[in-house]
Structure 1
Amino acid sequence: PYFIEAHTYRFEGHSMADKGDYRSPRELEMFRKKDPIDLLVKRSLREGWLTEEQLRLIDQKVEAVVEESVEFALNSPEPSEEELYTDLYCGVCSDVIP
């Protein structure tokens, strides 16, 4: 088993209304070159850990999980007002997050 800690960068804005145009093209390019997901894919191919076909299957599985999750969300009832502010914070993470 492996544990991968990947510090990622949010390339898109916070919402549909946030175009993210406060970032320079130079900043975006710098972080695209350091994208840990892209780097892991490239290294997995280079080292022979995964094949193109295996990566394609992983992508298909991820897409299916996302589609299933969206369907679930769209078909679920809206949360009650009392539930809106539950599970926002990790109660067991207080020793990790200052």
Structure 2
Amino acid sequence: MSGTTIVVLAIPFFLAGVGIGAVETAQYSAVATLAPSDLRGSAFGLLATVQSLGNLAASVVAGVLWTALSPAAAFTYLAAWMLLALAGLLFTAVRRAS
């Protein structure tokens, strides 16, 4: 691989890492802020369960798409879910602000 190709590939990986770090921090902060103190431990457990099941489902579907169709199909599927999640987050933020 040439140096230019590595940089082009490194940029999305870097941005994804920053995004994941920001989202996971926000999720844990939201649970700590919104969950009642007597249920906070269970709320963190539920968050971890939802995250792990979501990761499993995404990995299985993306793996099947990658194998059966193409890597582009897998990335398109995952990008669509990312955009849907972003739209939901923005909708919730706008609704909560008003």
Give me the TM-score of the superposition, normalised by structure 2: 0.38
Structure label with greater radius of gyration: 1
| Greater fraction helix | 2
Higher RCO structure (Cα 8 Å, ≥6 apart): 1
